[in-house]
A and B are shown apart, each in its own frame.
Chain A
Amino acid sequence: MGQDAIQDATSEVACDVLVIGGGTAGPMAALKAKLRNPAARVILLEKANVKRSGAISMGMDGLNNAVIPGYATPEQYTKEITIANDGICDQAPVYKYAERCFEIIQELDRFGIRFQRDGNGDYDVKKVHHLGTYVLPMPNGDTVKKALYRQLRKAQVLISNRFMATRLLNAPDGAAAGAVAVNTRTAEFLVIRAKAVILCLGAAGRLGLPHSGYLWGTYENAANSGDGYAMAYHAGAGLANLECFQINPLIKDYNGPACAYVAGPFGAYTANSAGNRFIECDYWSGQMMQEFYNELQSGNGPVFLKLDHLHADTVSEIETILHKVERPSRGRFHENRGTDYRQRMVEMHISEVGFCSGHSASGVFVDEFARTTVPGLYSAGDMANVPHNYMLGAFTNGAVAGEHAIDRAGEIDLPEIDAEAVARERARVLAPTRREDGIPPNQIEYKTRRFVNDYLQPPKVTAKMEIGQRRFAEIREDLETRMVARDSHELMRALEASSILDCAEMAAHASLYRTESRWGLYHNRTDFPEKNDAEWFCHTILRKVDGRMVSEKRPVTPYIVPIEAEERGAYDRQRVRRQA
Chain B
Amino acid sequence: MPLAHQPSTVPVTVDAEKCIADKGCTVCVDVCPLDVLRISDLTGKAHMKYDECWYCMPCETDCPTGAVTVQIPYLLR
Contacts and interface: CB of A to CB of B under 8 A. Distances in A.
* A and B directly contacting (CB within 8 A): yes
A58 B34 CA distance: 13
B17 interface: no
Given A329-B55, A329-B57, A217 B33 contact: no
Contact of A185 (B31, B32, B35): B35
Interface in A173-218: 184-185, 212-218
A222 interface: yes
Interface string B58-72: 100110000000111
Q: Is the interface of B mostly helix, strand, loop or mixed?
A: loop
Given A58-B56, A58-B58, A216-B52, A329 B72 contact: yes
Size range of the interface on A? 35 or more
Interface in B18-75: 30-35, 38, 41, 49-50, 52-58, 61-62, 70-73, 75
B10 to A, nearest CB: 12
B3 A332 contact: no
A489 B35 contact: yes
Given A221-B56, A489-B50, A51 B76 contact: no
Interface in A211-249: 212-218, 221-223
A184 B75 contact: no
A162 interface: yes
B2 interface: yes
A57 interface: yes
Given A58-B61, A253-B76, A52 B33 contact: yes
A336 B72 contact: yes
A328 B70 CA distance: 10
Given A52-B33, A217-B75, A253-B76, 7 more contacts: A2-B41, A54-B33, A184-B35, A212-B76, A214-B75, A223-B54, A328-B61
Interface of A: 2-4, 48-49, 51-54, 57-58, 142, 161-162, 184-185, 212-218, 221-223, 253-255, 327-329, 332-333, 336-337, 437-438, 440, 484, 489, 492-493
14 contacts: A48-B33, A49-B33, A51-B31, A52-B62, A58-B61, A185-B35, A214-B76, A216-B52, A254-B72, A254-B76, A332-B70, A336-B77, A437-B1, A489-B35
